[in-house]
Amino acid sequence: RINCSGFAKGYSMTGWRIGYLAGPIELIKATNTIQGHSTSNVCTFAQYGAIAALESSQESVEKMRLAFADRREVIFELLDAIPGISCIKPDGAFYMFVNISKTGMTSLEFCDAFLEQQQVAVIPGIAFGADDHIRLSYATDLGTIKKALERLDKFVRHI
């Protein structure tokens, strides 16, 4: 069994670039050899931050998980109500991958026009190999999510 994880999302340590790998010692030694020649070391403060995250109460992690689960439900329901787009509800993360194929636009065209007309930035799906999708983050408060989805609804209805 192998466990590979990081701290960015679960502990709000975005940008610190620290993670870990646990598994059979032979595998760990082999991956350590490869990793040692392909990346640089993690800075000291991030290492101490990771230790503190693991040794501290996990209550804040559960609180964040519940908040993201609530946001996921809200954004999914709002997206589901917009005609001409669709998405599958994710089990984790904090992104929705929205199918925009019925709009007839590429993901870049969609993102550019949406930003220009509604001042909302979303990520083109082409960056993930799906030019008929966009990626929406729900790593923000519910008020902002609702405002963005109102603008998305208005935008899609006027295409």
How sure is the predictor about 9, in pLDDT bands with cuts at 50, 70 and 90? confident
User: Which sequence spans correspond to the domains of the chain?
Assistant: 3-56, 62-157
Examine the pLDDT at 37 and tell me if it is beyond 80. Answer: no
Mean pLDDT of the chain: 93
Confidence (pLDDT) at 35 = 79
Mean pLDDT score, 2-15: 88
Lowest mean pLDDT among 5-9, 38-42, 74-78: 38-42
Percent pLDDT > 70 in the chain is 99
The answer regarding whether domain 62-157 maps to CATH 3.90.1150.10 reads yes
Confidence (pLDDT) at 32 = 86
Q: What is the DSSP string of the chain?
A: --EEEESTTTTT-TTS--EEEES-HHHHHHHHHHHHTTS-PPPHHHHHHHHHHHHS-SHHHHHHHHHHHHHHHHHHHHHHTSTT-EEPPPSSSSEEEEE-GGGT--HHHHHHHHHHHH----EEGGGGT-TTEEEEE--S-HHHHHHHHHHHHHHHHT-
Per-residue pLDDT tens digits for 84-136: 999 999 998 899 999 999 999 999 999 999 999 999 999 999 999 999 999 99
Mean pLDDT score, 58-63: 93
Specify the pTM.
0.76
